Amino acid sequence: MTSIDESTLDLHGVDDHADVIVVGAGITGLATALMLLDAGRRVIVLEQDVPGALASGRNTGKVSLLQGSRLSTIRRRHPARLVRAYVDANRAGQQWLRRASERAGVPVREATAYSYANSADGLDVVDAEARAAREAGLDARRVQDVDDTVAFPVAGAVALDGQFALDPAELMRGLADQVVDRGGSLVTGVRVLGVRATDPVQVRTSAGVLTAGQVLIATGAPMLGRGLYWAKTSGSRSLLLSFAPPPEPSALPEGLYLSVDQPGRSIRSATWGGQTRLLVGGGGHPVGREESSLRLVDEIADWTRTWWPEVGEPEHWAAQDYESHNRVPFVGRMPRGRGRVWFATGYAKWGLTNGAAAAIRIAHEMLGARRPDWARVIGSRLTVPADFARGASENAKVGAAAARGWLGALRGADLGEAEAAAPAEGHGEVARRGLRPVGVSTVGGETCAVSAVCTHLGGVVHWNDAELTWDCPLHASRFDHRGHRIEGPALHDLARVPDLETAAATATEVGAAPQE
């Protein structure tokens, strides 16, 4: 595997031209690269971090055509033929994932998927999902009782047999190895800064310029402004807790569970790295707008211990995904890309199957092959009034978040006038220097001060106390405590403010109790 360390920013050993450059080594990027390599194309995959570092490797690993209340949600806004096309696309993605897992030696576990209601209040949604699933050709069953291993309350559910689950991180590693084994180049630690749709296409990176006949932007949110897709999607984060199982393994659930009402919970058992774990997800929230993400972690942990009192202490992490305002993923050629630039986004937390389906469609288009029927139906969908209404509502929320962020920052302490001690370990605060919002945090004993203004469109970032990051409430860009960009439409880091770091550290030392 070609791996370029970010500190060297050197593309030595990598051709400066390829038939196709793929930006992003998640499921969409790696699957597309493999399909193109199988067709004899020369492919370079560029990744800022490591393969599967974000949503593709940090999800629950469910590979299911029954997806909570997704089918009925789409059906409320679109005709039945579009829902069927969505299911057919996900079925094609699911089948590809099964084959890819076998080739990569990644074990899968067959299971029944359940979309369930916590209480009677959610049964209308369960019934609607059952109708939408059957209308789309799925052999879904409306059930009252689920398997005997379920400890939590279930008022009713839709069931679909023959689904499966896997370890997504292991799958991403396997796909990345296959890209290299088949002759592709995989370059990590390099950030893409821009794409010019010339002939050939120019891809500007932190390590230099590469060219290609075609380019795929396979990042969670398109990092190009063309098409304004950051304004047509909404970013959300969901938490996943991994628990050591109770002493009696038979108490773990056998199925794949996702609630359709509140509290939102995703539940399954898994064996990863030779260890059996109980996975419980939930706490979905708009990026940067949750006062305390750590509180959501505690809520999920408390809920889990209510039904499995003997589980061990959990590990926790989170993943970010984007939902299009019309509920169906955006996939295809990017506007103003002159037919040479493709993209995909808006998987609404079902990126494994949707990402593989997007790869199938994009690979067909890049190779000039006839697209599957489902791709033509999805590609010809119309925007309906409800889509405009939801887009207007979401963008109004963005405007409100922008105003709240700036007002809060301007009301904060002026670090130019008063000395402020460093925040406590794991804490971050937004203050100001004059009229400039500044974020100060302490992580691992290191106090960092950065500009609190997102480099995308100028929103004031918010401290994420569960992941120790700065998150933008406008369009879901995220940065680590040192200001390094992690994900989202922003291309650049938050600027450091080193003199404030020194002042905060000094103030903390002066105010500290004497050590004996």
Residues that constitute the known binding site:
28
Distance CA(173)–CA(64), nearest Å, equals 21
Helix (H) or strand (E) holding 257: strand 256-259
> Which pair of tokens denotes residue 59?
């999800």
Distance CA(331)–CA(89), nearest Å, equals 12
> Which pair of tokens denotes residue 39?
């067709």
Enumerate the H helices of 371-429 as residue ranges: 373-379, 385-410
Distance CA(403)–CA(400), nearest Å, equals 5
Helix (H) or strand (E) holding 20: strand 17-23
> Which pair of tokens denotes residue 114?
């359940």
Query: Tell me, what amino acid is at 286?
Result: P
Distance CA(80)–CA(156), nearest Å, equals 24
Annotated binding site for FAD: 28
* CB 171, CB 165: distance < 8 Å: no
Residue 30's nearest CA partner among 356, 405, 459 is 356
- Report phi then psi at 32, rounded to 5: -60, -45
Q: 175 by DSSP, 3-state: which? A: helix
CA dist 119 → 141, 142, 263, 284 (Å):
18, 15, 10, 19
Q: 333 by DSSP, 3-state: which? A: strand
- Tokens 């109980």: give the residue: 278
Question: Is the torsion defined by CA of 48, 52, 57, 63 positive or negative?
Answer: positive
How many C-beta atoms lie closer than 10 Å to residue 445's C-beta? Answer: 7
Q: Report the alpha-carbon angle 421-456-227, nearest 5.
A: 160
- Report phi then psi at 311, rounded to 5: -70, 155
> Quick one: angle between helices 80-104 and 27-38, nearest 10?
70
First and final CA of the chain: distance in angstroms?
53
- Give the DSSP per-residue string, 421-448: PPPPTT-EEEEEETTEEEEEEEETTEEE
Cα dihedral value 160, 163, 168, 170, nearest 10: 160
* CB 334, CB 357: distance < 8 Å: no
Can you give the C-alpha Rg of the chain in angstroms? Answer: 23
CA dist 33 → 38, 53, 77, 210 (Å):
9, 17, 33, 17
